[in-house]
Amino acid sequence: MSNQNDEALKPTREQFIYANLLIIGVWAGIAILFITYAIYLFGLLPPHVKISVIPSVWAKGVNEFLEITHSPHGWGWVSLLTKGDFLNYIGFVLLALMTILCYLVLVRGYIRQKNWIFATIAILEIVVLSLAASGIFGGGGH
């Protein structure tokens, strides 16, 4: 039986930084989602697609939905940030970006430790997530 304060049982510095960054990002993301959804529901900013129209098209496939509502795919939402519905994407995107941001911290730590195997794994993960986020694979809506 070893001591609870044993160094081997403690998380690494990178693990702590990762956790701290994550907690800020997640709760900021949730708070933003909450606020932007209220703006959307109360009509403080006009939506791109009228709320009352959405129930008539949410049973259709995504390609048809985008065509009928003239909604963008990929990063096209950025140009519609003044619209109440697309404002909500800020929260979604922040949540989806958190892992990439946290991995940047890990890469720095592994390079400092000269742990090249894990630095490479972390860099590859950033490449994979960035490619997914870029819209190269997922942007072709119709």
Partner 1 sequence: MVNIRLRSVSCFFGFLVIFLLTSPAATAAAGQATSSATAGKPWWFWPIVLFFFCLVLGVLAVMAGVGGGVLYVPLVSGFFPFHIDFVRGVGLMVALAGALAAGPGLLRRNLANLRLALPVALVASTCSILGALLGLYLSSLNPNIIQACLGITIVGIALLLLFSKNTEKPVVTNQDAIGLALGLRGAYWDDGARESVEWKTHRTALGLCLFILVGLLAGMFGLGAGWANVPVLNLLMGVPLKVSVATSKFLLSITDTSAAWIYMNRGCVIPLIGVPSIVGLMLGSLIGVKILAIAKPKIIRYMVIIVLLFAGLKAMDKGFGLGLLG
Residues 44, 46, 62, 79: which binds partner 1 (CB under 8 A)?
62
Is 93 near partner 1 (CB under 8 A)? yes
**CA dihedral over 116, 113, 26, 36, signed as positive or negative:** negative
Is 92 near partner 1 (CB under 8 A)? yes
Is 129 near partner 1 (CB under 8 A)? yes
Distance CA 46, CA 71 (A): 14
Distance CA 109, CA 122 (A): 10
Q: Which of residues 15-54 bind partner 1 (CB under 8 A)?
A: 15-16, 18-20, 22-23, 25-27, 29-30, 33-34, 36-37, 40, 51-52, 54
Is 78 near partner 1 (CB under 8 A)? no
Is 88 near partner 1 (CB under 8 A)? yes
**CA dihedral over 43, 49, 52, 55, signed as positive or negative:** negative
